[in-house]
Structure 1
Amino acid sequence: MARHTGHTAKGPSQRQLRVGELVRKELSDILTRGEVSDPELVGVIITIPEVRMTPDLRLATCLIMPLGGGDGKKIEKVLNHSAKYLRGLVSRRMTMKYMPDLRFVLDTRYDDDMRIDTLLHSPDVARDLDRDDDGEDFGGRDEEE
């Protein structure tokens, strides 16, 4: 019997997206109001750009970004340590049969985008693109042959 993993070509279901957005909103509100009394989080502004839900809605992977260049790994560790407490705060604000477990992961998408952009604008890549525009292929032969 095939096991459903929830990974389809279409992406997450509407239900996963809706619940993820509700969890993201409540977590953002909790962190903005400073309801977590951990000394490591004092004065740190944390953004939650996305919450990804598993198909069974039992696990919420929360992508986090500290604003102002804070130590992301340290904040990720602190939030994962406080995950059960945060889960309790979120569950009081939502009406769900089961509250998902929370897992916090540092969001590196923007850093990855900048790294790829830098690579695409490097002289080596520009040279290869210019060579391709001149009609030469990468095999070293002219197209006329």
Structure 2
Amino acid sequence: MAKSMNRDGKAPTQRMLRVGEMIRRTLSEVLQRGDVHDDDLARMSITVGEVRMTPDLGIATAFVLPLGGQHKEEALDLLRRNTREIRHLVVKGGSMKFAPELRFEIDGTFDQMDATRALLDEDHVRQDLDD
């Protein structure tokens, strides 16, 4: 999981990172196995890139992306529609005493990488890098 800043501008603690990674792995397994009782969601292949926890571990924000980056909004709608069941399955599959609130957002990491790659391919940037 990336060490991004949380809302108050502080780096996440080891505990936040550890719990976030456990939820990310469990959520990935739940989605991969198709455990959620939603045929539309079961048909989609969704990657969970990162899960960020709030400092009190009460909210887990999962950054997701459908395979190929297609149908992002549909994937978000399906995940949000099934949040209650997904939350139950994640807690059942992990070793957690309580269930954090799950939130889903689109993972923009690949878009950021593409934008950076395009920027580095520009002639004037390449010229500066070659110097």
TM-score normalised per structure 1: 0.75
Pairs within 5 Å for 1:1-145: 7-8=9-10, 11-126=11-126, 129=128
- What SS class does the counterpart of residue 79 from structure 1 fall into? helix
Pair member with larger Rg? 1
Q: Please report how far the alpha carbon of residue 126 of structure 1 lies from its aligned counterpart in structure 2 after TM superposition.
A: 4.3
Structure 2 residue runs of 5 or longer lacking an equivalent are 1-6
Gaps of 5+ in 1: 134-145
Alignment partners' CA distance in 2, 1:69 and 1:12: 28
How far off is 1:55 after superposition?
0.3
In percent, how many aligned pairs have the same letter?
A: 40
Aligned-pair CA distance for 1:33: 0.9
Q: CA RMSD in A?
A: 2.2
Matched pairs, number? 125
- Which structure dedicates a bigger proportion of its chain to helix? 2
Ranked by relative contact order (alpha carbons within 8 Å, sequence separation 6 or more), the top structure is 2
Distance 1:93 1:15 in 2: 19
Please tell me whether the aligned partners of residues 6 and 55 of structure 1 are also in contact (alpha carbons under 8 angstroms): no
TM-score using structure 2 length: 0.82
Secondary structure, counterpart of 1:24 in structure 2: helix
